[in-house]
Structure 1
Amino acid sequence: MNSTEVRRQWAERSGEYSPEYYAYYGPDETSETIRSILERFVGRDASILELGCSSGRHLAHLHDHGFESLSGIDVNDDAFDVMAETYPELAADGTFYHDSIEAVVGEFDDGQFDVVYSVETLQHLHPDAEWVLEDLARITADLLITIENEGEGERDGSESATPNVSYVNDDVPLYHRDWNRVFTELGLLEVEATSGKRDTVRTFRSPQA
């Protein structure tokens, strides 16, 4: 599976892991985790970008708690229609990009967002598109948060090693990376890390913050 096929898979996703699926379940403990981190590091006026926002349940939680400048990127064809139906105030107040992460972030200015975060999205980034990670560090003015499945077991220790891959339901690839290594090598500073049952939450800060 190449990067184009991975993007197509998510653009056409329906049923499980689709925008409708996430809208049905709504904000969750992860939404609260994001809010808690942001409240400790930035103000309510911070400019925030979610990578792979889907129908917006995490952003909606932030919106409900007073965060004012919210943006999101999602490749799925239904994401923003579902958002408009489920979270109409967020849809009206936020700025959203219907495209792949790779197609959008290169157009952003250096340090355009105070906060950039990803919830189980970067784990789907194909190795062919890893160049986009440098852009994510570039556009982050202060805080970058990854909430991703980093997998189990040891990697081979090579800095250029291809990520380990596993599959959900035999069709959804997960590319397991050491996000500490990835983003510290790109110049960010890890300030917090907690491991849960499935995901590792890492908080990085820009050295310019």
Structure 2
Amino acid sequence: MSKKNKKTLQEIHDYWVHQSQPDHYIDKVKRSEFLTEYVKKYILKTGKILEIGCNVGRNLNHLYENGFKQLTGIEISENAITALKKTYPLLEKNSEIIHSSIEETIKQLPTHHFDLVFTMAVLEHIHPDSEWIFEDIARITGSYLITIEAEKAEHWRLYPRNYKNIFEKYGLQQVEENRCDKESGLGAYTLRIFKRQSNMGGEL
């Protein structure tokens, strides 16, 4: 990436605050269906689940409709949260949606608190100055972490990374890796599932 195309952390945050385009995400239900099948495979319906970068809440709502009730989302865009409240009122009423950047919130979250933490096309946008959050993501993960990310894409707001190399440094072990289903609209993405070796509270 050329220096002229590099953006600051603030510029990346400003982009997602103002350009979250929640309407663009609502109809991509096949992505949520793809994710949910893996969540069902590893997590009990009683498990505590966190989505980092939930946008309009489509993934969380699909999990809610499939019986998962202990749901939390973190979202930087107020526009996206407003759309979530309008589009999925039951989800908004029965879950915790945190309006914040991940950088501002993650240090406050308890260690090993969530049975599942997951991201979909979010970590790829994390600025290099914020890569310290990866260790904290591992810290708050009690049982499983799922990443669905475009690991090789590069753009002014896309940073290529291998998440197996990252998260295995922080006490998680990869237990599954798949190229995502093209029919879901995630053909360019890699699915990785990581497991903590102890404190397995909400797993099957």
TM-score, length basis structure 2: 0.88
- Rounded to whole Å, the distance in 1 between the matches of 2:42 and 2:110 is 22
Helix, strand or coil: the match of 1:20? helix
User: Which residue in 1 is equivalent to 2:24?
Assistant: 21
Is it true that 1:176 corresponds to 2:160 in the alignment?
A: yes
Matched, 1:12 2:13: no
Q: Which residue of 1 aligns with 2:44?
A: 43
CA–CA distance in structure 2, aligned partners of residues 80 and 129 of structure 1: 23
Flag structure 2 segments of 5+ consecutive residues without an equivalent.
Answer: 1-6, 181-186
Matched, 1:207 2:188: no
- Corresponding residue number in structure 2 for 1:188: 172
**Residue equivalent to 1:77:** 78
Task: Please name the residue that 2:122 is paired with.
Answer: 121
1:27–1:60 contact (8 Å) kept in structure 2 = no
**Structure 1 runs not aligned, ≥5 long:** 153-165
In 2, the alpha carbon distance for the partners of 1:82 and 1:26 equals 15
For 2:192, the aligned partner's letter is R
Letter matched to residue 78 of structure 1:
N
The total of aligned residue pairs comes to 187
Instruction: Give the Cα–Cα distance (whole angstroms) in 2 for the partners of residues 43 and 131 of structure 1.
Output: 30
What is residue 3 of structure 1 aligned with on the other side? 9
The equivalences for 1:143-162 within 5 A come to 143-151=144-152
C-alpha distance in structure 2 between counterparts of 1:38 and 1:173, whole Å: 28
Q: Name the structure, 1 or 2, with higher relative contact order (CA <8 Å, separation 6+).
A: 2
Alignment match, 1:132:
133
- Residue 8 of structure 1 deviates from its aligned partner by 0.9
Residue type matched to 1:202 in 2? R
Aligned-residue offset at 1:20: 2.0
RMSD of aligned residue pairs (Cα, Å): 1.2
Residue 21 of structure 1 deviates from its aligned partner by 1.5
Instruction: Give the secondary structure class of the aligned counterpart of 1:185.
Output: helix
* Equivalent residue letter for 1:19: P
1:77-125: CA deviation from partner (whole Å, max 9, x where unpaired): 2111101111111011010111101111110110111100000000000
Task: Note the C-alpha offset of 1:33.
Answer: 2.2
Please state how far the C-alpha of 1:26 moved relative to its aligned partner: 4.4
Which TM-score applies when normalising by structure 1?
0.86
Name the % identity: 34
Q: Which amino acid aligns with 1:51?
A: I
